[in-house]
Structure 1
Amino acid sequence: MINSVLNQRYEILEKIGDGGMAEVFRAHCRVLNRQVAIKALKQQYVNDAEFVRKFRKESSSAGGLNHPNIINIFDIGEELVEGKTVYYIVMEYVDGWTLKEEIVKKGKLSAQQVVVYGSQIAAALAHAHSHHIIHRDIKPQNIMITKDGIVKLMDFGIARTTNSQTMTMTSEAMGSVHYFSPEQARGQVTDEKTDIYSFGIVLYEMVTGQLPFDGDTPVAVGVKHIQGEFLPPSKWVPNIPVDLERIILKCMKTNPVQRYNNMDEILYDLQKVGSGNSQVDIDDDNSQTRVIPVQVREYDKVEQKPVRQVKKGESKVSNRKSKNVKKKKDRLMTILGVLVAFALVLGAFIVYQNVLKGGLGSNKIDVEVPKIIGKDKAEAEKLLKDVGLEFEVESTVENDEFEPGQVVSINNTAEGNKARQGFVVKVSVKGESDLVQVPDLKGLDEEAAQKIIEEKGFVPGEVKEEANKEIEKGKVITQNPQANEKVEKNTRIDLLISSGEEETVFMPNLDNVDINVAKKQWKMQGYR
């Protein structure tokens, strides 16, 4: 496959991945001059109609999804290469690594990083679910992380629409056993709740670096999913934020009914954990998911001593003690009454502030996160503040697709998601640089080119002319420095301008002609 060209367009450069049913290559698109990823079905499966159907279904499942946290599908094809049939999918190329690789490298991720990655995964799944696509194979191996920290969900190879038939263990591949849901293990109907369960396990693994269920065989692991007994994340990471653990445990409920209703709810709760200023509202119940308790030491039993009988002469003392106890109880009741009254007054004041005056922030509503990626920092901040959201630059990154100061990514939510007013949207922006990109002036007339040179902070340089039959007269043929080069401001830009097609003239044959006659013919041609 290396050095092959598919569809006279995609030049295969190198192999970058190998899965159960497909190989992945880095390729160059000659038409759009960009890098792409090519996923090719392995040769041992090309004659299996069922495998070919599954492979093609990946492009149809993900091809209709357009989201910054989902790998883009560009093309699909079938071609003979060296006499062998190649089924392939052309996808967005991601220069990065898998979430699994990051977990293995770091052991476990910080709670803040879990919220950042988790929010992006949740946003991607919410988008897929809104288009009635269930992934059904959510695992860290199917989640890419770019060098800028952007999450990309991929591999919709066993995805199904929400109106598909029941899946069984024997009818199709069920994804990775460590991450699939109890209903997948039973061969029951799968829906959005299946992805929610698997997402909970991914969160668990990010937080702890451990898998909640393991076993010697796939069947043994599947049984553990059904039984639903596992150590809580706090057993591995005692300082895990309580609300983050509650989110994980709710996602991993054995009974689908007791999980979150949808990914939007999870995203909303993750945003609250990320903001650190609001408690997650999760109903605790005794569901079928049983968390294995951590062992605690037994305390010694309290020795019961016999009750001493009151002697006859002690009755008055006992009465006095009883009266003293009664007085203390009366004083306590008085204090409690004052406290209750104070609480009622305080409650009335809060209600007045919140409801009648709209104070204390209770009038905040959920709003849609506006589109700010690619916007300048100031413009992005204004767009967010206009809808009641806060803006924070969390990091600066290098990215050739953006100008310095532009928003490259949102780190704790996504464009189009709902967020409560006051929520802090954390972003990464392209760092400011002393170098600027040279504009492309080719094909412009000289006046327009010089204007752009000055507007961009460069200095007009030397202008030369040259005959050129392809470039219209007065237009720029080439420039120095070349377009898109990174140079310092105030750099001089030289231009080569077309003088049009070189004029050709008829030269008379003057061989053996008298000199005087030759001069006359020469003048007749317009020459001196």
Structure 2
Amino acid sequence: MSFTLPFIIDDKYRCESIIGKGGMGTVYKAVQLNMGNRLVAIKVLNEDLAGDEEFRKRFENEANTVGQLQHENIVQIYDRLDYEHTYCIVMEFVDGESLQRIIDHAVETNTPLSDARVVRIGAQVARALKVANDGGITHRDIKPDNILVLKDDTVKITDFGIALREDSTIKTQTGVSLGTPKFMSPEQVIGRGVDGQSDLYSLGVCLYYALTCRVPYDAENPIAVATKHLYETPEPISKFNSSCRPALAQVVMEAMAKQKPDRFANGDEMAQALEASLGDGATVSIETPRPHKSSIMEHGVVMSESHPHTPTRGIKVGIGAGRDKNNSTGIFRFAKPLMSSLWPAIVAVLIVIGIVGASLLVQRSTVSDGRTGANGTLARPGMSKTDTSVGSIINNVNPFGREIIYPDRITAEYKTMLYNVDQLTSQGEIIKARQLMEDFHTKRPDFHSDEIDMRLDLLTSQLPLSVADVQKLLAARRERKGVALLSQTPPNLPLGLAYMTAARDMFKGLTGTYEQEAEIGLLESQVKATTGTVNNAAFAKLSARADEILSQMSIKSAPVPSDAEDVLSQLISQQPTGYSRWIELAEVFRRQGYTDDARVLLQYVERQAPLSGDERKIAGRLYRSLEKQTVPE
């Protein structure tokens, strides 16, 4: 029902004009006749939603939630009443504009908000969120539209319609996402663990937006945006606003840390950090030393038997950093992954190269033998090609200040280990071969570590599924490779989904449960949303190259072209339903010896390809053939 202005509600509120309209209702500017013509704002729930139990409860929830909060930076609720078969909330009238409108103007003029103004606004919001959180309330929809700014820059938070109250009988189903995708925290995306720190993440996104005139994560659809909150690292603020103080940029980036322990503990802490960032001589110290082997283990990068090594060709994974709450120096420490106990490779893989803020490209297919000198001793970068004596090796110190000693006896031990591994592998003793290499790597962690990591990954992929004791190794490898595929730029969603689904199935077979069902559901939706979106020119070029590769591979003795995996992976990413390409990539992996990668792809095709097509039957036949070849005697 539409109301003709002006109209009177409950004989005391005269609605005179419309302030704004939303999906749930309309907000009117009104005069409270029995309170000296005090200006108020009245939100009227759309009548077609008034009969909907969920919307009615949300509407009542807003009134009940805000009604118990008293803070100068939170819009106050005065009354709640019924009117013409719908419901109304009477609240404080704010004579200002939304932060969204302010940012819109900044975008039009290409002039981001000043550091001082961003701090004034952000600190007020943060302190108000602290009060709300202390009262057991999480807003869950902090965004520029819900931050009202008065002419003197006083801030008012509004719209607690989907707020979460600890004492509320209205519960949100686990795994259900509520909020606005561009401003949602990672935990809101997966629908678990939402609390006050989730609101601080959203506030961080708002401040990033105000400082750069762009949101940190954007895409063509909400699911793609939500996925970026889980897997991608935002561009540095300085890239878009060179005048922003580094200390302020640091505070904003910390607020947007993927993992809650790496964010500010509460709104007061964030407000204090914002205000301190404007101080004279405020600086940011970022320390990114090459980690000690044990510290790499701590971050889940170098894996033991329960976490096998998984270098991934062509995969770039970003670095995250967060402030150590126990470190008064303000020096950054490396952030742990979003779900450190679950997906350990999202942010920790590239710790070593944090010094230059770059991304590492690990290529498992190109292991150079150029490090071995003419006399069989190890020649390291920076040494003369002819200076390979034991003495020169002992006296050389690596760039990180640690002396590395590689005498001939260790090289001989290494060569012997490789020979024995090759012998065991040729006999089908993959488990013993892998254990032998793992033992050497544990004993000599710095010796040819890259090559050993790649060989261990290859051996892990060749482990037989029929041996229960090694299934956890394969499950962990699948999960890490899936995360790596989702973390690269741009993410390869179809292949990432295939690996995560395969990991889930194996983990559920081992433990009966898998906690990342919500994430996999999100990926499935995103893959469906991207199906059919093909860049015709680029796709045609890749398809032509793929046909050339297949022609070369038709000769049994011919090596696999070096770009085969990359070309076919890109085609799959652009056209997930082109299942023949999945089968072709599985063959590439099989020829390279990466048996489990072939298993993952063939199993995915067998499940997803149309029943009426040939691809499902072919994939099933190849999968069973592959399993017969890997069953131990």
TM-score by length of 2: 0.44
* Cα distance in 2 for residues equivalent to 1:66 and 1:147: 21
The question of 1:103 aligning with 2:106 is answered no
CA change 1:214–1:170 in 2 (3 A) is same
Asked whether the equivalents of residues 178 and 191 of structure 2 are also in contact (C-alpha less than 8 Å), the reply is: no
What do the CA deviations read for 1:146-184 (whole angstroms, capped 9, x no partner)?
12221111001111124668745875x711100011111
Counterpart position of 2:332: 284
SS of equivalent residue, structure 2 residue 16:
strand
* Cα distance in 2 for residues equivalent to 1:239 and 1:274: 13
Q: Structure 2: which amino acid aligns with 1:229?
A: T
Equivalent position to 1:23, from 15, 23, 26: 26
The question of 1:189 aligning with 2:193 is answered yes
* Cα distance in 2 for residues equivalent to 1:42 and 1:170: 28
Equivalent position to 2:235, from 226, 231, 236: 231
Asked whether the equivalents of residues 27 and 36 of structure 1 are also in contact (C-alpha less than 8 Å), the reply is: yes
Cα RMSD for the two superposed structures: 2.6
What do the CA deviations read for 1:80-109 (whole angstroms, capped 9, x no partner)?
2xxxx1200001111111001001102221
Counterpart position of 2:220: 216
SS of equivalent residue, structure 1 residue 285:
strand
Within-5 A mapping of 1:66-465: 66-80=70-84, 85-107=85-107, 108-162=112-166, 167-168=172-173, 171=176, 174-276=178-280, 281=328, 282-287=330-335, 288=337
What do the CA deviations read for 1:241-272 (whole angstroms, capped 9, x no partner)?
11111111111111112111111111111121
Counterpart position of 1:14: 17
CA change 1:283–1:44 in 2 (3 A) is farther
* Cα distance in 2 for residues equivalent to 1:283 and 1:261: 17
Asked whether the equivalents of residues 166 and 190 of structure 1 are also in contact (C-alpha less than 8 Å), the reply is: no
Q: Taking every aligned residue pair, what percent have the same amino acid on both sides?
A: 33
What do the CA deviations read for 1:212-244 (whole angstroms, capped 9, x no partner)?
111111111111111032211111112321111
CA change 1:169–1:11 in 2 (3 A) is farther
* Cα distance in 2 for residues equivalent to 1:25 and 1:53: 21
State the shift of 1:306 in Å. Answer: 8.6
CA change 1:242–1:168 in 2 (3 A) is farther
* Cα distance in 2 for residues equivalent to 1:69 and 1:303: 60
State the shift of 1:22 in Å. Answer: 1.4
Asked whether the equivalents of residues 166 and 187 of structure 1 are also in contact (C-alpha less than 8 Å), the reply is: no
Asked whether the equivalents of residues 77 and 89 of structure 2 are also in contact (C-alpha less than 8 Å), the reply is: yes
CA change 1:295–1:144 in 2 (3 A) is same
Counterpart position of 1:55: 59
State the shift of 1:274 in Å. Answer: 3.1
* Cα distance in 1 for residues equivalent to 2:42 and 2:90: 5
* Cα distance in 1 for residues equivalent to 2:62 and 2:38: 22
More strand by share: 1
Asked whether the equivalents of residues 228 and 254 of structure 1 are also in contact (C-alpha less than 8 Å), the reply is: no
* Cα distance in 1 for residues equivalent to 2:190 and 2:171: 11
TM-score by length of 1: 0.53
Q: Structure 2: which amino acid aligns with 1:62?
A: V
Asked whether the equivalents of residues 204 and 210 of structure 1 are also in contact (C-alpha less than 8 Å), the reply is: yes
For structure 2, list consecutive stretches of 5 or more residues without a partner in the other structure: 285-327, 339-346, 360-380, 388-633
Asked whether the equivalents of residues 167 and 190 of structure 1 are also in contact (C-alpha less than 8 Å), the reply is: no
What do the CA deviations read for 1:425-466 (whole angstroms, capped 9, x no partner)?
xxxxxxxxxxxxxxxxxxxxxxxxxxxxxxxxxxxxxxxxxx
* Cα distance in 2 for residues equivalent to 1:104 and 1:169: 35
What do the CA deviations read for 1:458-509 (whole angstroms, capped 9, x no partner)?
xxxxxxxxxxxxxxxxxxxxxxxxxxxxxxxxxxxxxxxxxxxxxxxxxxxx
* Cα distance in 2 for residues equivalent to 1:75 and 1:283: 48
Counterpart position of 2:456: none
CA change 1:253–1:275 in 2 (3 A) is same
State the shift of 1:135 in Å. Answer: 0.6
SS of equivalent residue, structure 1 residue 124:
helix
* Cα distance in 2 for residues equivalent to 1:277 and 1:73: 42
* Cα distance in 1 for residues equivalent to 2:105 and 2:358: 30
SS of equivalent residue, structure 1 residue 229:
coil
For structure 1, list consecutive stretches of 5 or more residues without a partner in the other structure: 297-301, 309-528
Counterpart position of 1:36: 40
Asked whether the equivalents of residues 140 and 198 of structure 2 are also in contact (C-alpha less than 8 Å), the reply is: yes
Counterpart position of 1:5: 8
State the shift of 1:284 in Å. Answer: 1.5
Q: Look at both structures and tell me which one has the larger radius of gyration over its CA atoms.
A: 1
Q: Structure 1: which amino acid aligns with 2:214?
A: Q
* Cα distance in 1 for residues equivalent to 2:268 and 2:274: 10
Q: Structure 2: which amino acid aligns with 1:286?
A: F
